[in-house]
């Protein structure tokens, strides 16, 4: 079974808007996701991530890759995204002594009061007697925080041991770990977020790891990033109270019916809700055209949601 370290929360589902028709959503305390492309939605390449194996020439069944919802060739056991339309996947079986690593380095601000790593994973394996010739050693999966450049972990966040002669399917599990509780000195440093697997024996049966919804989330110090406006002019009293942000990403457009080059502008909107959320800045506005949008999503920054031209439904089954 899996082991957790420090303050850790896990659950099987994220927050769904599930059929909710919305106009304006109130702002919440601004939070920033420091990981890049943590939902693996940017393209069919593993943008902003590094995928390694050792030894480099070892055989494997499935190299790290991006899988899109509806893909009929998703690996040993199939799969579907935890959120959005894409996730990252590999198959961990092959030569003895093979290791897989998926990692990204992130710079932490100097003084955030909250630093939390969130991710979802799904592990499936079939180490049955049919495949063991024989097998005696367990496979290991762990999520760690390493220093910049790699090396001995600063903290192990989660471990899962897959014993010989077992089969299993965890389903999607969402994890949330308080990094300050484990690594108080993490502020102001650059760290490596690492998803690691070790296969000590060959021919012990297929296995598969899916990862999605990765976010290293920080909350700015009190008074920063709240998105609150101030009143202007004599006798006017208080202002609007909702800052819309300035500059690139202040207003992002989303339209499920759009097909073409996307940049989030009114004329070239993103066509998925999760892309819009990923690109809008804290204090910004997300304008969503009427339609049905797929996926589960957690919004962790102050954002104003505005439906355009009718009802926008997020979390609709079979939607884009």
Could you read off the pLDDT of 113-139 as tens digits, one per residue? 999 999 999 999 888 777 776 778 888
Three-state SS for 86? strand
Pairing assessment for the beta strands 251-254 and 284-293 based on DSSP bridges: parallel
Report the alpha-carbon distance of residue 177 to residue 219 in Å, rounded. 14
**At 187, phi and psi to the nearest 5?**
-60, 135
- CATH numbers and ranges of domains, the chain: 14-31+222-227+243-320 (no CATH), 33-219 (2.60.120.260)
Report the alpha-carbon distance of residue 97 to residue 60 in Å, rounded. 11
Tell me the helix, strand and coil percentages in the chain, rounded to 5: 5, 40, 55
**At 160, phi and psi to the nearest 5?**
-135, 125
Residue pair 30/114 in contact by the 8 Å Cβ criterion:
no
DSSP 182: H
CB-based burial of residue 50 (10 Å sphere; 0-12 exposed, 13-18 middle, 19+ buried)?
A: middle
Q: 148 or 306: whose pLDDT is higher?
A: 148
Residue pair 36/319 in contact by the 8 Å Cβ criterion:
no
User: pLDDT tens digit string along 69-100?
Assistant: 877 666 677 788 998 899 999 887 767 778 89
User: pLDDT tens digit string along 270-296?
Assistant: 888 877 887 888 778 889 998 888 765
**At 274, phi and psi to the nearest 5?**
-65, -30
Report the alpha-carbon distance of residue 122 to residue 114 in Å, rounded. 26
């Amino acid at each position: 079974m899996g082991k957790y370290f420090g303050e850790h929360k896990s659950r099987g589902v994220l927050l769904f808007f599930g059929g909710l028709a919305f106009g304006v959503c109130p702002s919440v305390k601004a939070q920033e996701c420091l990981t890049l492309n943590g939902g693996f939605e940017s393209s069919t390449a593993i943008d902003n991530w590094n995928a390694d194996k050792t030894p480099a020439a070892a055989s494997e069944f499935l190299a790290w890759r991006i899988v899109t919802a509806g893909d009929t060739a998703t690996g040993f056991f199939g799969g579907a995204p935890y959120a959005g339309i894409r996730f990252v996947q590999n198959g961990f079986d092959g030569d003895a002594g093979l290791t897989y690593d998926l990692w990204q380095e992130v710079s932490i601000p100097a003084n955030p009061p909250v630093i939390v790593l969130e991710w979802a994973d799904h592990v499936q394996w079939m180490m049955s007697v049919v495949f063991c010739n024989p097998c005696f050693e367990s496979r290991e999966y762990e999520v760690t925080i390493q220093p910049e450049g790699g090396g001995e972990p600063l903290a192990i966040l989660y471990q899962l041991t897959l014993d010989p002669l077992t089969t299993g399917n965890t389903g999607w599990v969402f994890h949330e770990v308080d990094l300050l509780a484990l690594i108080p000195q993490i502020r102001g440093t650059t760290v490596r977020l690492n998803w690691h697997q070790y296969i000590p024996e060959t021919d012990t049966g297929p296995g598969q790891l899916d990862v999605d919804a990765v976010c290293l989330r920080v909350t700015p110090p009190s008074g920063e990033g709240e998105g609150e406006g101030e009143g202007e002019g004599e006798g006017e009293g208080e202002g609007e109270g909702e800052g819309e942000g300035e500059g690139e990403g202040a207003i992002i457009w989303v339209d499920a019916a759009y097909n073409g080059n996307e940049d989030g502008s009114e004329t070239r909107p993103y066509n998925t809700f999760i892309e819009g959320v990923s690109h809008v800045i804290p204090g910004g506005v997300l304008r969503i055209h009427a339609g049905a949008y797929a996926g589960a999503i957690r919004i962790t920054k102050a954002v104003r949601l505005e439906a355009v031209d009718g009802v926008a439904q997020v979390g609709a089954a079979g939607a884009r």
